[in-house]
A = this chain, B = another copy of it.
């Protein structure tokens, strides 16, 4: 439901205004309020306040009905009064299973991973788990270091979008002997579980679609593809399907740097400049790049798809909001995060989810190809 308001949108009282860039000294560092008895309250203090033993307090606070209602109420009241915040480090150390989940992603500048993380966080949080994050920047060494670091927190599980795992990384995960979900790609055999789509198939599917639309002179424009294994898999599938149909990739340009609208825009300009006979379709490594391509065409007066057709991957919102919606493949990103969370949680609760879960993709016809 939308609500509008004529010329009187929400206002707020005038607040202090700071112009430009600068910083204020940390002068009046207000002393922390109430360091009550030196430290933060512990369970034993709560127990004492409620007149019960530590373990009873523990049980009362964790719930589970092992404690008489009246007692439990008393304990909870005491905890509230003392502003007790449990120490899960101690709890986990003593009791066993952590409620943290290690999450390793190759990047966050790509909105794809942000979407996955969003879905993942939401479900984990609801189940009482907290993600501990690491970004590998597509660097296998950093990825390995992250795995070690995260494991040292003894997480309940790991979710990883592998960049290019070293053998050592894989060994670490295997030895750790905890649920591990490898996300994004289901083409390779996972260490433990995998949730994602087949990027190889996605590439093939797009090729089939485009062949069916009658395109014949294909070009590819990609970003630093060596470190993006999934983009490589799509290209591989794309080219494979072309080959089976007796076609080839007439032109193929990959640019250093991570994918972006800007790179796609500049890249397309360059690709067309270098082309002998221009392609009738350009397949981009993803939607960011493809949207850049659309922008180039707009600016250069190239009619899409009349003069040149464009196709991407991911089904990003921006591509669909374009004046001419982008031909792409919806990669079901949020579903991957949600599904990964489900796998972990199921495992935590004693279940045995499928080893490989393919959330599937969907071709979006769009209007650019």
Chain A residues in the interface with B (C-beta under 8 A): 1-12, 14-27, 29, 32-35, 40, 83, 85-90, 92-93, 98, 100, 103, 107-109, 111, 114-115, 117-118, 121-122, 125, 130-135, 137, 146, 148-154, 172, 174-177, 186-188, 193, 198, 200-201, 204, 220, 222, 225-226, 232-233, 235-237, 239-240, 248-256, 260-262, 265, 274, 291-292, 295, 298-299, 317-318, 320-323, 352-360
Name the B residues within 8 Å of A295 (CB-CB). Answer: 321-323
Contact A256 B2 (CB under 8 A): yes
Contact B323 A11 (CB under 8 A): no
Residue among A18, A176, A235, A295 with most chain B CB within 10 A: A18
Contact B130 A131 (CB under 8 A): no
A274 to B249, CA, bound (A): 49
Contact A5 B254 (CB under 8 A): yes
A-B contact pairs, 27 of them (CB 8 A): A6-B251, A9-B235, A10-B225, A15-B187, A17-B198, A17-B200, A18-B198, A19-B201, A21-B360, A22-B358, A23-B354, A40-B175, A40-B177, A85-B172, A89-B89, A108-B117, A117-B133, A122-B137, A125-B134, A130-B153, A131-B132, A133-B133, A261-B317, A261-B321, A262-B321, A265-B321, A295-B323
Contact A15 B174 (CB under 8 A): no
Contact B152 A135 (CB under 8 A): no
Contact A152 B86 (CB under 8 A): yes
Contact B352 A26 (CB under 8 A): yes
A27 to B12, CA, bound (A): 60
Name the B residues within 8 Å of A222 (CB-CB). Answer: 9
Please give me the 7 A-B residue pairs with the lowest Cβ-Cβ distance, nearest first. Answer: A21-B360, A26-B355, A9-B252, A261-B321, A23-B354, A299-B323, A114-B114
Shortest CB distance A240–B (Å): 7
Contact B248 A10 (CB under 8 A): no
Known pairs A9-B225, A17-B200, A21-B360; A150 contacts B133 (CB<8 A): no
Shortest CB distance A128–B (Å): 8
Contact A256 B17 (CB under 8 A): no
Shortest CB distance A255–B (Å): 5
A88 to B248, CA, bound (A): 54
Contact A154 B87 (CB under 8 A): yes
Contact A130 B133 (CB under 8 A): yes
Shortest CB distance A277–B (Å): 13
Known pairs A4-B253, A114-B108, A115-B109; A357 contacts B23 (CB<8 A): yes
Contact A233 B15 (CB under 8 A): yes
Closest B residue to A105 by CB, please name it. Answer: B121
Residue among A11, A15, A16 with most chain B CB within 10 A: A15
Contact A121 B100 (CB under 8 A): no
